[in-house]
Amino acid sequence: MFEGSTVALVTPFRGGNVDWKAYGDLIEAQIAGGTDALVTCGTTGESPTLSDEEKVELFRFTAERAKGRVPVLAGTGSYDTHHTIELSKAAKAAGCDGLLLVVPYYSKPTQAGLLAHFRAVADAVNLPAMLYNIPGRSAVNMAPETIVRLASHKNIVAVKEASGSCDAVTQISSSCGITVVSGDDSLTLPFMACGASGVVSVVANIVPADVKELVRAALDGDCARALELHRKLFPLIKACFIETSPIPVKTALALMGRCTRELRLPMCEMDPANEEKLKAALAAYGLFGGSGAAARRREAGAKRRKPEAKN
């Protein structure tokens, strides 16, 4: 379950609030581009700076806008098991189809603690869950053996593997039936060669159709086409991670006129030199043809527009 191309949606802001019009348009663009599932309130959506009230509204809005056309996964994981359970119950009540559960960050639990944490959430909320292993942000790596043990729970059906380890993907995929997806855009193809079935993608925010085609080609065994797309996407992927995500991808969307570049501290605007590199990558891909000044005029116009109703 949850194989294919899943996008980790950004959360557009305007004037300190969620820009619901821009967010709805981004959802529609993803569905039109063939994206298989949506993640709301993931790290790319700046979840650490969203209030619980905003998260619940994003859960509801995303589920209602998707209208069953694609599954919606709610990012409900935190460093607190009780809080994770409460958010997960709210996501289910809001109509979400699944949960994205990150390894508890800052707390640094042991492998035994990870087993207890994820089992407690899966026991409490009857929704399919995707585990999220990202030691670069959580400070703890969830061992493949732990993931294999968790896969025996009926509600734990997938893992987003962002450890960067092909060995881990091979070990997990060969030891149990859990769906493994890449958590790194640049490793989608290598991970799929080792047994993964897709990606939760950042760069799909701006090129959903190409990410979907790469994943589909890999699943279909069309290695030549998958490699061609991997090589095409690679410079854009590197530019989208030239600074901490989601700073570059949100800046890219702003340059393309899709949302403002507004971030919440401690996320801040890109270094100007890095932004020039991002512009060059977008231009090379055919996504950005205007000057920086023209793009900023488009952003300014978007900010001046009267906020629209959520639905």
Indicate the pLDDT class of residue 232, thresholds 50, 70 and 90: very high
Q: What is the Cα–Cα distance from 95 to 86, expressed in whole angstroms?
A: 15
Q: What is the Cα–Cα distance from 263 to 212, expressed in whole angstroms?
A: 27
- Residue 94 reports pLDDT greater than 60: yes
Mean pLDDT of 254-271: 97
CATH number of the 4-219 domain: 3.20.20.70
Encoded tokens for 39: 């993640």
What is the per-residue pLDDT for 156? Answer: 98
**Would you give the distance in Å from CA 204 to the centre of its chain?**
9
Q: What is the pLDDT of residues 28-55, one digit of tens each?
A: 999 999 999 999 999 999 999 999 999 9
- Residue 310 reports pLDDT greater than 90: no
Q: What is the pTM of this model?
A: 0.91
**How many residues are recorded in the chain?**
311
- Kindly list the distances between the CA atom of residue 239 and the CA atoms of 26, 58, 236, 283, in Å, as whole numbers in the listed order: 20, 28, 5, 12
Q: What is the pLDDT of residues 154-169, one digit of tens each?
A: 999 999 999 999 999 9
Q: What is the Cα–Cα distance from 11 to 9, expressed in whole angstroms?
A: 6
Q: Select the more confidently predicted residue: 75 or 297.
A: 75
- Residue 305 reports pLDDT greater than 90: no
Q: What is the Cα–Cα distance from 255 to 248, expressed in whole angstroms?
A: 10
Contact 133, 183 (CB under 8 A): yes
Residues annotated catalytic, as ranges: 132, 160
Indicate the pLDDT class of residue 288, thresholds 50, 70 and 90: confident
Residue 130, SS3 per DSSP: strand
By DSSP bridging, strand 4-8 and strand 198-201 are parallel
Which long-range contacts link 301-308 to residues 24+ away (Cβ below 8 Å)? 302/14, 302/22, 302/257, 302/259, 302/260, 303/14, 303/15, 303/260, 307/14, 307/15, 307/17, 307/19, 307/20, 307/21, 308/20, 308/21
Estimate the crossing angle of helix 20-32 against helix 52-66, to 10 degrees: 40
For the purposes of burial, counting CB atoms within 10 Å of the CB of 46, is it exposed (0-12), middle (13-18) or buried (19 or more)? buried
Q: What is the Cα–Cα distance from 119 to 116, expressed in whole angstroms?
A: 5
| Phi, psi at 205, each rounded to 5° | -55, -30
- Residue 309 reports pLDDT greater than 70: no
Contact 207, 240 (CB under 8 A): no
Alpha-carbon radius of gyration of the chain: 19
The sign of the dihedral angle between the CA atoms of 45, 20, 209, 5 is positive
Encoded tokens for 195: 């047994």
Encoded tokens for 27: 């959802």
Average pLDDT score, the chain: 94
What is the per-residue pLDDT for 275? Answer: 98
